Amino acid sequence: MLLINGKVLIHNGEGLNFVKADIRINSSTIKELGEKLTPLPDEECIDLNGDYVLPGMVNSHYHSYTNILKGTSFGEPLEMWSLDTVALGRILGEREMALSVSLGICDMLRSGVTACLDHIPHLATSHIAAKTYKNTGFKSAIAPMLHNVSDREILYEINEIYPVNGKHNKFPSVKDYVDYYIDFINRFHDPKGNVKVILGINSPQRANDELMKAASELACRFNLSIHCHLLETRWQRLSADNDISPLFKLDKFGLLKEQTSLAHCIWMNEDELDLIAERKAAVVSNPTSNAFLGSGIFPLKQYIKRNIKIALGSDGVNCGTSNNMMDILRFLLLLQRTQEMDYTQWISIEKGLQMITKNGFDVLGFDKPFGEIKPNHSADLAIIDKNSFLDILDDSFLNQMVFNASISAKHVLIDGRFVMKDGKISVIDEEGLRREISAIKPYLGKNMRKALNIANEEKKIYKSVYESLLISPSNIQ
């Protein structure tokens, strides 16, 4: 297939720019780029009429089950919000999970996102997500969550209220986790294809040593990348300072390495930052989610200073965010400007775009590269209508795309196949999706309300401790 007359985002001698070029795609791969390529006999030729072509973007930290929970949180700090999302997650069965995964894929395709890292807490329905990704062609690195210690047992001062190893602990056994992982890997792990498995520790403090050891063995045995939440909130920092640093715990079990990506990483100390750099792990910032939950601001400067790879994620969409990675990048860039008086240190658009393209590929770690428009890369492309931009200065488009336009894709290709054409998604029946959601609305709404009411009871205890920590003396700001 030959895509002609596009303006393609590529590196030329002067950096990243939109350049007039044709793209030859053979099967799933970009084969050739150049001006006025000659069509081969029988080659399908598609005229892009001057539309703009970007590499498909990557959402490097995401929870698919939350798409159907959009708007269920009005905004409370993470520890309280977690009680809601855990309770809401419990009421979602196979059908609701399938709808939620599909909703997320549609959202992402519409904003030009073609790959995600899906950190999944619900193992019993994780196969639904895997099958949906497989069927739609959407690229997903699935990280089923490993955890067997609840926040009640480890959060500073909450752990004084609840009995240790109380009867509320309903986690699977370590053997069950290992069996599950082996089965899931055998069924779905295909790094050459569009679905792969990542070892998804929830957060190191939420897994006991036995589970961490088993996780480490699984990662070695199947050569898995590793992903986890890390030090997202001040309360987690306080808890870590009264116990072991979750990062050092991860390292102790050999799980902090180049194939490791760490989501959030807001409340870090110097030793931890240095260790991430030393191990060459990547961090995934989720700035909109962190702002919504009041978790804090990602210390971008500290990571840039140490040359640590940064990717971006949306986190769950019930954290006041969307799955539009360009919007999330914009938020990060604007936020940095409010924090950095030295404007020469502001992140360039090129560096920012790398966080939602190539660095995302590095975090997900598929065999065939994507995230750049280059020969021998997967043909994962988002095509934006030329009318989205004001065509006055020809070097203003990147700037407009990141800061002025709300990006929505006209066409999207994954592995050389159109999954969205002229605004119509071909791999998911969007109308059918809306109909199905309407059909389950009455019982789902009732169950959601019930779940939120149940969570409210426990939330009262968390709130009182949280408020006491706000006024308690601490050297943590």
The pair of three-digit structure tokens given for residue 178, joined into one six-digit string: 């290992």
By beta-carbon distance, which residue lies closest to Zn ion?
315
User: Please, which residue, 202 or 269, has the CB nearer to Zn ion?
Assistant: 202
User: Please, which residue, 315 or 362, has the CB nearer to Zn ion?
Assistant: 315
CB of 211 to Zn ion, least distance (A): 19
Helices within 226-364 (DSSP H only): 234-241, 246-252, 270-279, 287-292, 300-305, 325-339, 349-355, 358-364
Q: Which range in 265-273, 308-316, 398-406, 407-415 contacts Zn ion by CB under 5 A?
A: 308-316
The pair of three-digit structure tokens given for residue 217, joined into one six-digit string: 């063995």
CB of 131 to Zn ion, least distance (A): 22
Interaction of residue 315 with Zn ion, rule CB under 5 A: yes
Strand partners, 378: 29
User: Please, which residue, 51 or 315, has the CB nearer to Zn ion?
Assistant: 315
Q: Which range in 99-107, 189-197, 310-318, 415-423 contacts Zn ion by CB under 5 A?
A: 310-318
CB of 290 to Zn ion, least distance (A): 10
User: Please, which residue, 315 or 372, has the CB nearer to Zn ion?
Assistant: 315
Residue matched to tokens 């929870």 = 63
Q: Which range in 128-136, 234-242, 312-320, 422-430 contacts Zn ion by CB under 5 A?
A: 312-320
Q: Which range in 24-32, 70-78, 268-276, 309-317 contacts Zn ion by CB under 5 A?
A: 309-317
Total site size for Zn ion, rule CB under 5 A: 1
Residue by residue, DSSP assigns 21-39 as: EEEEEETTEEEEEETTPPP
User: Please, which residue, 78 or 276, has the CB nearer to Zn ion?
Assistant: 78
**C-beta separation of 155 from 79 below 8 A:** yes
CB atoms within 10 A of CB 117: 29
CA distance 39 to 360: 33
> Residue 465: enclosing H or E segment and its boundaries?
helix 430-471
**C-beta separation of 199 from 117 below 8 A:** no
CA distance 170 to 292: 29
**C-beta separation of 385 from 411 below 8 A:** no
User: Please, which residue, 84 or 372, has the CB nearer to Zn ion?
Assistant: 84
CB of 90 to Zn ion, least distance (A): 17
User: Please, which residue, 84 or 315, has the CB nearer to Zn ion?
Assistant: 315
CB of 108 to Zn ion, least distance (A): 16
Interface residues with Zn ion (CB under 5 A) are 315
